[in-house]
Structure 1
Amino acid sequence: MHACLSWMANNGVPDTVVSAWAGHSDLSFTKRVYVHPDPQSLKAGSDKLGQLLVS
């Protein structure tokens, strides 16, 4: 379940849908326990920050 929820979250499925799909009533629980950014997501965030700092 953990890998599936992380995969869904990292591939564009909204957090609220991931949480509901898992049967959780508390979105923060789902995000805290199951959803983790993958290296590609972290790189994308770093790239965006770099663009902001260069402009």
Structure 2
Amino acid sequence: MPRKITPSATPERRTYTDEFKRDAVAMLLDGHSAASIVQRLGISGTNLLYRWKKQ
């Protein structure tokens, strides 16, 4: 029987500083792959990185 997930069991949303976002996007513009940046920095996914690039 699957366990029920209680609201307190959900992880909190992480926040990133503007400097962190700029540095991550700079790595992308320098030619690093999005997948390697995500793995190196512990970001949840490449879509987050590309959203920062649009800002």
Q: Higher helix proportion, which one?
A: 1
TM-score in terms of structure 2 length: 0.50
From the CA coordinates, give the structure whose radius of gyration is larger: 2
